[in-house]
Amino acid sequence: MNSPESNSSLASSNGNIITTPANGSVTAASSTLNQNSILVELCDSKCSSAYLQSKLSTTFDSVKASLKEATDKKNSSKIYTCLQNLTYYKVDKDFLDMLVTIITISDEKKTLRLAYYFLNEISQFKHLFNTGSAEIKNLINIFSKEQLHKDISRKVISLKTTATVAPNDVLIDANILEVISGILRKVGEDVDKTQKKKGFFSRGTNDLGRERSLLQYACFVACRNRFKNSPSLFMPIIEGIKCSDPVGARHSISLTFDYAVEKPSTVSESTKRFLPLLKANKGKEAVNLQDSFARRNFIKLAGHLAAANVPESKDFFQHICQSVQDNHYAVSFWAIQTLIKFPWSKLEQAIIEPIILDNDTPNHFDILPNQISLVTGICNKIKIALTTHTSSTTTTSQSNPIIHLACKLVALLSESYVKSAYPKDNKTQLPIIGDWLDLDNIPTTTTIVIPTIIQQQQQQQQLQQQPNNRDKDSKDQNPFSSLTSIIMSCLTISPSISIRIQALKALVWLCPLDLKQCQMYRETFKNLLLDPYHPGFLFKELYMEMYKRVIATPVLSPMILSLIYDWIDIVPPKVDTNLICQTLRVIIDFGLEAKEKVLATLFKILDRSVHPDFRVVNLEILKDLIRFLGDVANVLTFESQSLYPTVSSSTALKSLEISNQSLNSIIQRLEQYAIYNPWQLRMESVDALGKIAFQSSTSVRIHIYNFLSSIPNESHGWTCVKSNTSLICNILDQLLTKRTKFLTNLKSSPTLTEQQSKELSQDHHNLLLQISIFFEQLPNDFLPFGFESKLFINKQK
């Protein structure tokens, strides 16, 4: 459990934590010294919060002392008052003795309930309890006594609490298990027979069924806290799914799930008979779970068994499909969430069977006269939920969670569809790169119309009348594309940022697989950037989803690149350059055209004019992008060490020409930035040039070395730039000199002497060390002296 201390307040009005000590004075989070002292104070106070403590007239120590005194004196009214006061504080293991004593001496229900509450609270320390101690022995004695008590409440609370708080011990386990087994065994017996016997069930009560189900419930709670997967309880727990107490049935299903994780086939065989809509179960043991959480748990169980290799998996899968028609959104949406874990190909073929209301059909299912495909059923369900809850006339207190989850489901389902439908490379099974279009040449004619409330209601009516409209749609089209307009409307009508984020994520995955048809989405995302009220983290979430989308469908890269430019251009203060660089790295791997487009985008960003208000923030963005350019320039331009002049080409070293035009243009820009900009940018550009030089051919190195040696050095901030420049020049100098020496040695003789090899190896490691300062991670095969040195370095190793 959590530590016994806690802070005092959620936050100050400006977002910084404000802690309020016991004396009520307010302290800002910025004062570390004060914070530490308050933290110490909090640890001592043991109160739920310092703010709360400031409102109380008691302290933890005073309450503890009073309780001790009252317990010693057996003063029941004072014990009750002290226990009440103790609820404001976090109790520790030292209270065990007092609490056990209180339960022993007290007979008042309100006092007992509080004592059991605190016992439950200290169960987090149960590993520290000594199993042979007097308190634990007393606790078990009380448990045994309470199980014979005529009051059902005392049996229930004692069973639930003792199973939670008693330390793990063979004897204690056996004791509690015996009681649980006894109760569950008797529950299975005939009511009339049981009534005549002495035992766990009190004879005074008129409602034996109720008492049974309550004890069953208590047993299941105890099992959840102590005896998960106990083999001896397997059948009673499975039978508990039929428990008349809805909460008991729910706990039983949870326990059954734990068994299913270990033994799917046994559980599958034993629970198939409970499936509510299975024809073979009708009128027999099919369960009618009234509790929505129990139904959710049953779907979770079915999801596990449907994915397992068991003969009944098909029936369990069908149960989840049927549960989409549950009239409770919390259950229906949970079924959809469970289905998302299955491959799209399976979902596409699945159906929802007709649901006709009769005496055997649980009343929590919506009637479905005709069979429909699962995808249509899901789509209809989500559409109805969104249409109803986005309309201002029919919203409920739960509308926000429903819209939120509906948008999330559309995103997840569309993602599953997109990943399945997008063409893959036959050999690698990776998504194909596809034909990239020039976005500027695509007309932006498509517009989206956000439906009015009346239109939404009409759509809802149409949906109910024509439930199977999916079959008419083209199979190439995203089956959830009909939800686009409603989801887009969430962007404008919802004040909730979280809903807007989910709606945007859904739209990212609703983008068609064809770039031509994505213009509308591109415009929507761009317009969003123009709205000043959206917070920065909303854009981060949006672009994170685009990052995932571009991995799944590389063909959308031009759109994503264009939107990356828009993000930086329109709202630079809300940009996350790390995320942009990550996305660009992914796109770079899509081939030559991708590299060209990335480079073009980077140049476009670097060359754009910046609004004066954004100068400072733009400087930071440019710094990050220049660093990124330095990191990836060699990958983008195919410049590598393999372009080293070979030993035989004696004229190579004399050539200072850079034939790689792309690299040339990168270097030119970086050189420009290294001279005419604020010192921070100049420093970053010099570093980037250095990184390019280290990874490039000799001619590039010489060019950069010459540039850095002759760079103007009079301007403001030069001292900072100078240190980096001289460091890079020094390394380049060593690289060029030592490589020349090595090549000369190699030219005179095909093999090096042992001394020469040793020197080469030392120089190699020395330079690697110096160069690695500039890289997050150098490639393992990086050879500063070129590929010719590989043989000799390996020999030395």
Partner 1 sequence: MINNLLITNLNGNIVFSKYYNILTEEKQIEFEKLTYQFTKDEWSFAKGEKHLVTEFSGNKIVFTNVGDLMIFLCGSNEYDELALSEIIFPLMETIKEVCKKKGVTEAHFIEQIPKFVLYLDEIIQKGQIDQTQIESILNYSALKHDQPIKKETI
Nearest Cα to Cα of residue 569 among 605, 518, 612, 523: 605
155: left (phi over 0), alpha (psi -120 to 50) or beta: alpha
Smaller CB separation from partner 1, 404 or 595 = 404
The answer to the question of residue 715 lying near partner 1 (CB under 8 A) is no
One residue of 24, 28, 44, 55 binding partner 1 per CB under 8 A = 55
Closest approach of Cβ 304 to partner 1, in Å?
A: 12
Closer to partner 1 at the Cβ: 137 or 341? 341
| Closest separation in Å from C-beta 93 to partner 1 | 16
Cβ nearer to partner 1, comparing 297 with 677: 297
Tell me the CA distances in angstroms from 65 to 82, 353, 414, 517, one per residue in order: 9, 66, 61, 74
What are the structure tokens assigned to 776, written together?
A: 């997050």
Biggest CA pair distance of the chain: 110
Beta bridge partners of 28: 18
CB of 111 to partner 1, least distance (A): 10
Residue 115 interacts with partner 1 (CB under 8 A): yes or no: no
Q: Is 749 in the site for partner 1 (CB under 8 A)?
A: no
Q: How far is the CB of 544 from partner 1 (least distance, A)?
A: 13
- Judged by CB under 8 A, does residue 233 bind partner 1? no
Nearer to partner 1, 500 or 549 (CB): 500
- Considering only 68, 126, 186, 224, the residue that binds partner 1 (CB under 8 A) is 224
User: Amino acid letter at 284?
Assistant: K
Min. distance of Cβ 400 from partner 1 in angstroms?
5
User: What is the C-alpha separation between 318 and 272, in angstroms, rounded?
Assistant: 12
Task: Work out how close the CB of 577 gets to partner 1 at its nearest, in angstroms, rounded to a whole number.
Answer: 21
Q: How far is the CB of 446 from partner 1 (least distance, A)?
A: 31
What is the C-alpha to C-alpha distance for residues 512 and 520, in angstroms, rounded to an integer? 10
Q: Which helix (H) or strand (E) holds 498?
A: helix 497-510
749: which residues sit within 8 A by CB, 6+ positions away? none
Specify the residue for token string 């009560």. 205
Min dist CB 492 to partner 1, Å, is 15
User: In the complex with partner 1, which residue's Cβ is closer, 122 or 721?
Assistant: 122
Output phi, psi for 647, to 5 deg: -60, -35
End-to-end alpha carbon distance in the chain: 52
Q: Residue from 226, 295, 404, 623 that binds partner 1 (CB under 8 A)? A: 404
Give how many residues touch partner 1 by CB under 8 A.
78
Q: Which of residues 560-619 bind partner 1 (CB under 8 A)?
A: none
> Footprint of partner 1 on residues 297-356 (CB under 8 A)?
300, 329-330, 333-334, 337
> In 10 A of CB 329, how many CB atoms?
20
Do 253 and 241 contact (CB within 8 A), yes or no?
yes
Comparison of 15 and 612: residue with beta carbon closer to partner 1: 15
Footprint of partner 1 on 90-109 (CB under 8 A): 109
Name the segment binding partner 1 (CB under 8 A); options: 82-90, 546-554, 607-615, 762-770.
82-90
Considering only residues 173 through 212, tell me which ones interact with partner 1, judged by CB under 8 A: 205, 207, 210-211
Binding mask 142-161 for partner 1 (x = CB under 8 A): ---------xxxx-xx----
The answer to whether 769 contacts partner 1 (rule: CB under 8 A) is no
**Binding residue (CB under 8 A) for partner 1 from 77, 232, 349, 398:** 398
How many C-beta atoms surround the C-beta of residue 373 within 10 A? Answer: 19
Cα 186 from Cα 198, distance rounded (Å): 11
Query: Which residue from 345, 316, 193 is spatially nearest to 257, judged by alpha carbons?
Result: 316
Work out how close the CB of 51 gets to partner 1 at its nearest, in angstroms, rounded to a whole number: 4
Q: Tell me if 154 sits within 8 A of 146, measured CB to CB.
A: yes
Q: Which one, 211 or 671, has the nearer CB to partner 1?
A: 211
Measured from the CB atom, the residue of 401 and 434 that comes closer to partner 1 is 401
Under DSSP, the state recorded for 452 is P
State the DSSP code for 450. P
Span from 79-87, 134-142, 667-675, 707-715 in contact with partner 1 (CB under 8 A)? 79-87
Query: Could you tell me which residues come within 8 angstroms of residue 211 by beta carbon, excluding any fewer than 6 positions away?
Result: 152, 201, 202, 205
Whether residue 474 contacts residue 421, with contact meaning beta carbons closer than 8 Å, is answered with: no
Ranges within 461-520 binding partner 1 (CB under 8 A): 495-499, 501
Residue 114 lies near partner 1 (rule: CB under 8 A): yes
